[in-house]
Amino acid sequence: MNNILIVEDNDTSRNNLEYVLKTNFSDARIYKAGTGKTALKLLKEIKMDLFFLDIHLPDISGLKIAEIIRSIEQYELSYIIFITTHLMYLPKAVQEYHCYDFIEKPFTKSKIIDVTNKLLKGINKENKENKLDKKYITIKLKNVIHKISVNDIFYAESCRRKLYLHTTLDKIVIPSMTFKQMIKMLQETGVDYFIRTHRSYVVNINHIRSIEKHNKKAWDINFYDYEEVALIGDKYSVDVINRIEGGI
């Protein structure tokens, strides 16, 4: 879900812009401000993904708001779109505040939809990549500490009182951790692509290439670029197959 902030003092323009965004981007939350003061209050309370700023406001210039936005670390590269009748501000908006676009009033519905669609796609792609790249678990062994991206994990396996972590780089033996502890560690990263497939296996569904029935009560899981297989137990089979069948 993306958060979009509209800062516009004209009621008609603000409501029209909100209507266009709400009716065409159902997965976005739209926030509105008629003054700079309200906009800055919202900015402190809610993490925004995209900004539509009018330059002329009754209390604070939209350019000043853009300056404040850029001074906040998490918004250094956020997308800002200025909406105004005063094109003379375009050079300053681009050079000093690195706005993405400059929409002249009266704006057209198609222009708003086009630019918003393009930017939300980019934001969502970046968020997905960051989610994959920045989630790690740390495994402490006797002589080494492994920092492992969860995206690099094929599966974790409990076997003969030892835990095995199968990754794109290596198979790591972890004698001092229980299977429940590993599951909890993966859950705490906040990612949603690990699934319990067996009493002794938890699997990253992003790496699954295929599943094959092994016998009446068990399935084999095959992975991309990895020769070893994981198992699906009868108890977990319905939930697992329902979860992954659309991607296989």
240, burial (CB in 10 Å: exposed 0-12, middle 13-18, buried 19+): buried
Cα 202 to Cα 231: distance, rounded to the nearest angstrom: 9
The pLDDT of residue 90 is 64
The pLDDT of residue 144 is 83
The pLDDT of residue 142 is 77
The pLDDT of residue 227 is 93
Quick one: CA torsion of 245, 133, 201, 206, rounded to 10 degrees?
20
Write out the chain's pLDDT in tens, 248 residues: 899 999 999 999 999 999 999 999 998 999 999 999 999 999 888 999 999 999 888 998 888 898 899 888 888 888 899 887 766 656 665 666 677 777 888 889 999 999 999 899 888 877 766 555 558 898 888 778 888 989 999 999 999 889 999 999 889 999 889 999 999 999 988 888 999 999 999 999 999 989 988 777 778 999 998 999 999 998 998 888 888 775 54
The pLDDT of residue 141 is 85
pTM of the full structure: 0.53
Q: How far apart are the first and last CA of the chain?
A: 26
Cα 178 to Cα 198: distance, rounded to the nearest angstrom: 15
The pLDDT of residue 87 is 64
The pLDDT of residue 165 is 97
Cα 205 to Cα 108: distance, rounded to the nearest angstrom: 43
Percent above pLDDT 70 for the chain = 90
- The closest of 203, 102, 222, 227 to 155, measured between CA atoms, is 203
The pLDDT of residue 6 is 96
Type of residue found at 173: V
The pLDDT of residue 132 is 53
The pLDDT of residue 91 is 63
